[in-house]
């Protein structure tokens, strides 16, 4: 197989505080930098290196604002001149890149064949959430996918449910959509010892449920507050939940709800935590909750499986596929169902042990080596086609 020069475009806006998007990028970069392949990778980004990994063949780009202006001029006029002179395209040509891989859903108009990534088409299902309704976010996402997906050489998503949605809504032939499960960072596999001082550091009780999710409305912290109230009233138990994630505008609302429901002392707002602490929070939790309305795949369930933590997740097509029988699936609009599931995991030791074992089996498929192998197979497909022109 003749090796190609493959560009890897990294979204410069992702930083550790961004949460799952940054962690996912770290895992993908880890996978690519250590992969065995004849292809040579070049990493393109605006600003500072947007990853903690040491990257070979870094190509920092200047002029992010100019790039935005040129992109919109190109879309408005259709004149290829504006596309060709963008900082990214000039760098692609200078480095003789054969194929560009967009690690995140942030495609740009480029002069080389490219591979797109789609995490979800959530905006089509739930346009009413403020994070989609406000700031023209719905329009931005829709334009992005309409402009980029059908022209992609390949489209990568993480579940078969996602594949069906992309084909259905954007008329992308299924033959060029590849389902590749996202990897998790090495640290989740390598760090096996739990440290009890994590309880002291975050003032947590011995038994707590973990919800690692930023405070967007669609992440559905609301339902957890309702479930805690039901557990207090019906089961006469005090269950604690640790919320991990940055505030995106909904945190104070959730705090107020918890206060009104009489459960504020059972909810622990930890904010953004370092990766090493998050791993320990997974390993010591009774269970990880993932009650989002977003439906293709969730990074927290994958990380929980690797860490040996049971999972309760939303009944959405993608999460049902991802979690399978390794977790409990609940209606994200039914707090009674959630409350009952939480009590079951907390009190039924056999159920919890079984969930951990099943999750560990799923985790075997999340190693970065497997991700790299599947992604490089897509690069190899393109390399075979690439032989047909100079």
Of 302, 313, 304, 356, residue with least CA distance to 338: 313
Q: Do the Cβ atoms of 150 and 118 come closer than 8 Å?
A: no
Q: What is the residue whose two structure tokens read 């909810």?
A: 267
What three-state secondary structure class fits 267? strand
Q: Topology of 5-183+367-386 in CATH?
A: Rossmann fold (3.40.50)
How far does CA 286 lie from the centroid of its chain? 23
What is the reported pLDDT for 185? 84
Indicate if the alpha-carbon torsion angle 266, 269, 270, 272 is positive or negative: positive
CA-to-CA separations, 153 to 80, 86, 126, 251, 361, in angstroms, rounded: 19, 21, 29, 40, 33
What is the reported pLDDT for 243? 98
What is the reported pLDDT for 52? 75
The reply to whether 186-366 shares the fold of 5-183+367-386 is yes
What is the reported pLDDT for 145? 97
What is the reported pLDDT for 54? 81
What is the reported pLDDT for 207? 94
C-alpha 74/C-alpha 59 separation (Å) is: 23
What is the reported pLDDT for 19? 59
Task: Write out the two tokens for 145.
Answer: 């996918």
What is the reported pLDDT for 199? 92
What is the reported pLDDT for 288? 98
> Could you give phi then psi for residue 178, rounded to 5 degrees?
-110, 130
At 81-107, the pLDDT tens digits run 999 999 999 999 999 999 999 999 999
What is the reported pLDDT for 18? 53
Per-residue pLDDT of the chain (390 residues; tens, 9 = 90+): 679 999 999 976 555 555 567 778 888 998 899 899 999 999 999 988 888 778 889 999 999 999 999 999 999 999 999 999 999 999 999 999 999 999 999 999 999 999 999 999 999 999 999 999 999 999 999 999 999 999 999 999 999 999 999 999 999 999 999 999 988 888 887 755 555 689 999 999 999 999 999 999 999 999 999 999 999 999 999 999 999 999 999 999 999 999 999 999 999 999 999 888 999 999 999 999 999 997 677 889 999 999 999 999 999 988 999 999 999 999 999 999 999 999 999 999 999 999 999 999 999 989 889 999 999 999 999 999 999 998
Task: Write out the two tokens for 87.
Answer: 């900082």
Q: Do the Cβ atoms of 10 and 51 come closer than 8 Å?
A: yes
Domain ranges of the chain: 5-183+367-386, 186-366
DSSP 231: I
What is the reported pLDDT for 194? 57
What is the reported pLDDT for 197? 85
Q: Do the Cβ atoms of 242 and 282 come closer than 8 Å?
A: no
User: Does domain 186-366 bear CATH number 3.40.50.2000?
Assistant: yes
């Amino acid at each position: 197989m003749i090796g190609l020069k493959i560009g890897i475009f990294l979204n410069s806006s992702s930083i550790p505080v961004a949460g799952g998007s940054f962690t996912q990028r770290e895992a993908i970069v880890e996978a690519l930098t250590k992969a065995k392949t004849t292809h040579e990778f070049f990493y393109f980004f605006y600003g500072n290196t947007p990853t903690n990994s040491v990257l070979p063949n870094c190509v920092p780009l200047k002029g992010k604002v100019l790039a935005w202006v040129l992109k919109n001029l190109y879309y408005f006029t259709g004149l290829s001149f504006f596309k060709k002179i963008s900082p990214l395209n000039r760098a692609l040509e200078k480095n003789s890149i054969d194929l560009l891989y967009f690690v995140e859903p942030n495609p740009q108009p480029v002069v080389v064949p490219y591979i797109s990534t789609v995490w979800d088409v959530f905006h089509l299902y739930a346009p009413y959430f403020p994070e989609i309704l406000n700031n023209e976010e719905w329009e931005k996402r829709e334009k992005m996918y309409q402009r980029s997906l059908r022209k992609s050489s390949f489209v990568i998503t993480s579940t078969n449910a996602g594949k069906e949605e992309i084909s259905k809504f954007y008329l992308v032939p299924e033959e060029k959509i590849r389902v590749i499960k996202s990897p998790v960072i090495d640290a989740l596999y390598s760090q096996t010892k739990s440290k009890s001082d994590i309880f002291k550091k975050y003032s947590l009780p011995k038994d707590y449920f973990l919800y690692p999710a930023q405070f967007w409305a669609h992440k559905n912290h609301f339902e957890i507050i309702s479930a805690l109230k039901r557990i207090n009233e019906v089961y006469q138990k005090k269950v604690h939940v640790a919320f991990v994630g940055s505030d995106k505008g909904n945190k104070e609302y959730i705090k107020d709800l918890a206060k009104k429901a009489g459960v504020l002392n059972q909810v622990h707002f930890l904010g953004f935590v370092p990766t090493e602490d998050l791993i320990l929070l997974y390993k010591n939790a009774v269970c990880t909750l993932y009650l989002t309305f977003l439906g293709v795949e969730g990074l927290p369930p994958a990380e929980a499986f690797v860490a040996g933590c049971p999972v309760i997740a939303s009944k959405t097509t993608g999460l049902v596929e991802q979690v399978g029988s390794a977790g409990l699936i609940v209606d994200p609009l039914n707090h009674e169902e959630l409350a009952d599931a939480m009590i079951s995991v907390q009190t039924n030791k056999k159920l919890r042990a079984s969930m951990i074992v099943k999750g560990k089996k799923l985790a075997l498929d999340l190693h970065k080596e497997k991700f790299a192998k599947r992604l490089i197979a897509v690069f190899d497909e393109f390399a075979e086609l690439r032989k047909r022109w100079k």
